[in-house]
A = this chain, B = another copy of it.
Amino acid sequence: MQPDRRDRRRLEAREEIKDTARALLAEQGAAGLSLRAIAKRMGMTAPGLYHYFGSINDLITALILDAFTQLAEAVEKADADVASRGGAERLVAVAHAWRRWALDHPIDFQLLYGSPIPTYEQPTDTTYPAARRSFLVTASIFAQAIECGEIDLPEEYRRLPPEIARSFDALTGLEGHDLPPHALYLAAISWARLHGHIMLELFHLIQPVIGDVDALFAHEVNALIRQVGFTPSQ
C-alpha cells in the first residue's frame, strides 16, 4: 500500500484551508473568519472541513501555532543576522524584529496575544511551547551576555527575590531550564516591556500621548539595554 499520496493530499488540504483562513483574516479581520466563508472560497461546503479540523477552534489553534512559529523565525533570523555582534546589538535587533512582525501582522499578533474570538479558548498547554520559542531567543542572548561579562548587573537585578529564584527550580524539564536564572528573569521583564509597548501601539492607545511611536520604541529599547546592565557601547 502507498498511503503517501492520500496523506500528502490530506496535508495539502489542511494547508489550503489554513491559507484561505489567513487570507480571509487579512482581508476582513477576525470577524470575517468563518467555516462557511472558507469553504465557499475553496469551492466546497462547511461540513466538509470537519474532515480536516475537528472544529473551528482546532483550526484557530493551528493558525496560532503557525503564527507563533512565524514570529519565532522572524526573531531568530533577526538575531542570526547580527550574530557576530555583541549581546546589546542582538537584543536591539530582536526587539525591533519582534515589533516589526507585530505591526506587519496585526491580526496574527492579536490572535497570539489577544484571543479575539470569544468562543475560542486557547489550549495553553499546546500553544505555550510555541510561544516559548521566541522567548528563548531573548533568554539565550542574555545568558551568553552574562557569561561573557557583557552585563554588569545593576543593584536591583543582582539579587533576585527568593520566591522567584525558587520558582525557577520548577522549570526542570522545560526547554531553557538550563539557562541561568538571571537570564530567564531579564528575558521575562524585557519581554513584558516589549509586549506592553507593542500592544498599546497596536490598539492605538499610545499614539495620542507619544506621537512618534517609532522614536519612542527605539528610545525605550536603548533604555532597557542600559538598565539591565549592558555597558554603554563606545
Contact = CB atoms under 8 A, between A and B. Distances in A.
Interface of A: 29-31, 33, 110, 113-119, 122, 124, 128, 131-132, 135, 156-157, 160-161, 163-164, 166-168, 170-171, 174, 184-185, 187-189, 191-197, 199-200, 203-206, 208-212, 214-216, 218-220, 222-223, 226-227
Contacts of A29: 118
A174 B161 CA distance: 41
Contacts of A211: 163-164, 166-168, 170
Contact of A216 (B113, B188, B215): B188
Nearest to A216: B164
A195 B188 contact: no
Contacts of A110: 114-115
Contacts of A194: 196
A116 B114 contact: yes
Nearest to A190: B196
A167 B207 CA distance: 10
Given A156-B222, A195-B199, A220-B189, A210 B167 contact: yes
A200 B124 CA distance: 12
A49 to B, nearest CB: 19
Nearest to A132: B208
Given A115-B114, A199-B113, A124 B156 contact: no
Contact of A215 (B113, B115, B163, B170): B163
Contacts of A210: 164, 167, 184-185, 188
Contacts of A174: 208
Contacts of A205: 113, 124, 128, 131
Contacts of A195: 196, 199-200
